């Protein structure tokens, strides 16, 4: 049957979901390479590394690459959970569907709210830093002083317009941006290592060079895990991917592997570029760019270009995938049906994309208003907001990761017992759950400065409110459980 959104295929389907005939996204238009590139663009290696590595190094020490390796292993364990669920039940709902199918409708609604809030807060940090980094770049090379919020609004408007045009054009553009940033990162890293060829050291890979041993590794672990956030992007694109049962898992593992190797290269090059001096590295605003300037001179502009393409790629790829989680929740009835609307021609989740982006901008506006009305009226810094918003969003997302790892063995034992394997469906998700507990502890432990000190309380309040809303909604509509994950992506 031809896709109703293609020319000559007849009139478009209805604009609003009808019982028994939920709206669908355009199926089978993305290949494995597309969703893998979109996943890595969502991770935004340049953006994440530029603004996260200095703090990671001051926490873990010269041997911070070891912390990156540990985080890569942990994310690979989480990738196994996502891959196993996607093979069994590929869905645009991702973790929402997986947790809901295992624990029931209350958990599905709760997860939908946690995912929605967590990803919107996290994406607000990306939206803000896109304009902030453009402001930094233009000021350095032209002396122009245009407020970053103006650039943020312009870049967001252009990105949303591209996303509304269709998943193919926006995904391929995000993949192009990712390719540009990776070329820049690799070139600068190799140049830095080559220029220090006579002074290379294995210290970054020796446990004895971790700050306070394993305590330093554990302290830097949450920061290293955050470098990978976005690794789950491909699952939300399952409905639009050819052969999702195979390609989603391949995209997950290939993305995690490529990012792990790349981050080790970038971190070693940066530590080497600073002569293994953690204090100097930690004091640099953007250490990798400092290395590029010392290594490439005037060509360090390429490092700024990599940062710009990284923020834009992450903005497009992240909003594309994460808005689809909100869309699917609206389609399943876990959130208002308004979010479940699909454009009749382009087959894009228009309302979900617009609402997702608008809410993220409101969060940025609320943060800015708080600075204007509070004690920090002169500190409207997008880099500071990036750190704060990404931390809060990550706490909520980690809770969903944890629930998914707990759900996997129960799901397979209950629904697919003949396929259950002890290592794949019990041991690995148990290790994945343990890997999540470590960063959760360090993000929630007492004694942190404000606003980080109250983030754990905000997370608990969000969970309780989500549970309360979910309980009321399921009582009002007992059939909700039957609709969770009812639309399965299966374009074999």
CB 224 within 8 A of CB 304: no
Nearest to 322 by CA among 179, 114, 176: 114
Q: How confident is the model at residue 2 (pLDDT cuts 50, 70, 90)?
A: very low
pLDDT(492) > 70: no
Place 488 in a pLDDT band, splitting at 50, 70 and 90.
low
Residue 282 has pLDDT above 50, yes or no: yes
- The pLDDT assigned to 14 comes to 37
pLDDT of residue 486: 64
Average pLDDT, the chain: 89
Helix (H, G, I), strand (E, B) or coil at 61: strand
Q: What is the DSSP string of 137-172?
A: HHHHHH-----HHHHHHHHHHHHHHHHHH-HHHHHH
pLDDT given at position 178: 97
Is residue 489 within 8 Å of residue 239, measured between CB atoms?
Answer: yes
CA distance 369 to 149: 13
User: What integer is the mean pLDDT of 68-93?
Assistant: 92
Average pLDDT of the residues in 391-403: 93
Q: Are the C-beta atoms of residues 64 and 220 closer than 8 Å to each other?
A: yes
pLDDT score, position 1: 35
3-class DSSP state of 241: strand
Contacts of 93 (CB under 8 A, 6+ apart): 100, 112, 236, 325, 328, 329, 332, 484, 485
Taking the C-alpha atoms of residue 435 and residue 367, their distance in angstroms, rounded to an integer, is 31
- With bands split at pLDDT 50, 70 and 90, how would you rate the model's confidence at 376? low
Residue 491: its pLDDT value, please? 43
- Predicted local confidence at residue 299, as pLDDT: 85
Which percentage of the chain shows pLDDT scores above 70?
A: 92
d(CA 226, CA 395): 10
Give the pLDDT band (50/70/90) at residue 447.
confident
Q: What is the pLDDT of residue 21?
A: 60
State residue 484's pLDDT score: 77
Dist CA 98 CA 373 (whole Å): 42
Give the pLDDT score at 4: 37
Q: What is the pLDDT of residue 3?
A: 38
pTM: 0.89
* Token pair of 431 as six digits: 């290790």
241 forms beta bridges with 30
CA distance 21 to 14: 10
Residue 253 phi/psi, 5° resolution?
Answer: -70, -40
**Span 170-225, pLDDT tens digits:** 999 999 999 999 999 999 999 999 999 988 999 999 999 999 888 889 889 988 99
């Amino acid at each position: 049957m031809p896709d109703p959104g293609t020319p000559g295929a007849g009139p478009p389907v209805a604009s609003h979901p009808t019982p028994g005939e939920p709206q669908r996204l355009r199926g089978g238009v993305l290949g494995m390479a597309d969703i893998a590139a979109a996943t890595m663009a969502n991770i935004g290696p340049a953006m994440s590394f530029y603004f996260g590595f200095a703090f990671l190094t001051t926490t873990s020490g010269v041997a911070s690459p070891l912390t990156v390796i540990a985080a890569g292993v942990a994310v690979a364990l989480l990738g196994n959970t996502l891959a196993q669920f996607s093979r069994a039940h590929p869905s645009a709902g991702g973790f929402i569907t997986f947790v809901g199918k295992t624990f029931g409708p209350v958990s599905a609604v709760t997860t939908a709210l946690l995912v929605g809030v967590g990803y919107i807060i996290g994406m607000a940090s990306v939206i803000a830093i896109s304009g902030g980094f453009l402001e930094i770049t233009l000021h350095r090379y032209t002396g122009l002083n245009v407020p970053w919020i103006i650039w943020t609004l312009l870049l967001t408007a252009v990105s949303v317009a591209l996303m509304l045009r269709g998943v193919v054009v926006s995904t391929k553009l995000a993949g192009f941006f990712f390719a540009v940033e990776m070329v820049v990162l690799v070139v600068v890293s190799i140049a830095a290592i080559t220029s220090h060829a006579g002074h290379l050291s294995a210290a970054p890979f020796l446990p004895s060079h971790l700050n306070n041993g394993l305590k330093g590794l554990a302290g830097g672990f949450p920061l290293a895990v955050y470098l990978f956030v976005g690794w789950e992007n491909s699952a939300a694109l399952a409905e639009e991917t050819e052969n999702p049962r195979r390609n989603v898992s391949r995209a997950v593992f290939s993305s995690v592997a490529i990012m792990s190797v790349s981050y080790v290269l970038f971190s070693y090059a940066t530590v080497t570029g600073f002569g293994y001096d953690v204090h100097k590295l930690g004091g640099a605003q953007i250490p990798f760019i400092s290395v590029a300037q010392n290594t490439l001179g005037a060509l360090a502009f390429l490092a700024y270009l990599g940062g710009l393409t990284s923020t834009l790629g992450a903005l497009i790829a992240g909003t594309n995938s994460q808005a689809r989680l909100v869309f699917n929740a609206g389609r399943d009835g876990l959130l208002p049906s308004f979010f479940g609307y699909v454009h009749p021609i382009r087959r894009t989740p228009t309302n979900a994309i617009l609402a997702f982006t608008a809410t993220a901008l409101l969060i940025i506006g609320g943060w800015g208003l708080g600075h204007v009305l509070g004690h920090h009226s002169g500190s409207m810094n997008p880099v500071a907001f990036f750190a704060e918003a990404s931390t809060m969003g990550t706490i909520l997302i980690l809770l969903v990761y944890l629930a998914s790892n707990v759900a996997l063995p129960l799901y397979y034992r209950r629904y697919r017992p003949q396929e259950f394997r002890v290592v794949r469906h019990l041991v690995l998700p148990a290790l994945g759950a343990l890997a999540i507990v470590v960063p959760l502890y360090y993000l929630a432990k007492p004694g942190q400065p404000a606003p980080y000190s109250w983030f754990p309380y905000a997370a608990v309040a969000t969970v309780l409110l989500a549970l309360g809303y979910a309980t009321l909604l399921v009582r009002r509509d007992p059939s909700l459980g039957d609709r969770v994950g009812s639309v399965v992506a299966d374009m074999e």
